[in-house]
């Protein structure tokens, strides 16, 4: 399902292509008219999710209140699902802005964390092959989200 909202700059922005379902083989676990939530293709841990607005924003301060609320609401629901499914010791929620936003499209990371997981930002770890199970992870998360 492709949702083109006003302000979407088109195919030059990878974040817009992901958020609007244009990129192939997306593991979308949740979406509504404002946001799309996909599994990161290089997850730090199983269930690592990105939340992207469908309209192009580089930074949260550019976002309208309705979209910002949709991002936060989705982060809450997905965090509940991640905790039920994977029982992490915690969840890291983060986003980088300005020159640190390597996607140049606002996105929030939700990363299940475990004591001793060795997670260091910028150094992706694949301790258990989570990147090989994205389709199974997608099915599991969708099932739990539908229960909420």
Per-residue pLDDT reduced to its tens digit, 60-111:
999 999 999 999 999 999 999 999 999 999 999 999 888 888 889 999 999 9
67: helix, strand or coil: helix
Q: How many CB atoms lie within 10 A of CB 42?
A: 10
Going along the chain from its start, the domains and CATH numbers come out as 14-114+127-147 (3.30.428.10)
Q: What is the structure's pLDDT at 4? A: 40
- Give the containing element (helix H, strand E) for 28: strand 28-31
Q: What is the structure's pLDDT at 130? A: 80
Question: How many Å is the maximal CA-CA distance in the chain?
Answer: 44
Q: What is the structure's pLDDT at 32? A: 97
Residue range 87-97, pLDDT digits in tens: 999 999 999 88
Q: What is the structure's pLDDT at 129? A: 80
> Do residues 118 and 126 make contact, with C-beta atoms less than 8 angstroms apart?
no
**pTM score, whole prediction:** 0.80
What is the pLDDT confidence band of residue 2, given thresholds at 50, 70 and 90?
A: very low
């Amino acid at each position: 399902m492709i949702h083109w909202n006003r302000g979407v700059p088109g195919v030059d922005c990878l974040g817009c292509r992901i958020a609007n379902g244009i990129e192939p083989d997306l593991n979308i676990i949740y979406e509504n008219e404002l946001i799309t939530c996909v599994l990161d293709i290089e997850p730090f841990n199983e269930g690592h999710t990105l939340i992207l607005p469908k309209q192009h924003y580089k930074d949260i301060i550019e976002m309208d209140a309705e979209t910002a609320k949709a991002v936060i609401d989705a982060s809450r629901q997905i965090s509940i699902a991640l905790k039920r499914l994977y029982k992490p010791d915690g969840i890291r929620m983060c986003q980088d802005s300005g020159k640190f936003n390597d996607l140049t499209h606002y996105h929030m990371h939700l990363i299940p964390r475990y004591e001793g997981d060795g997670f260091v930002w910028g150094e992706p770890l694949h301790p258990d092959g989570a990147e090989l199970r994205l389709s199974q992870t997608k099915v599991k998360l969708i099932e739990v989200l539908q229960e909420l």
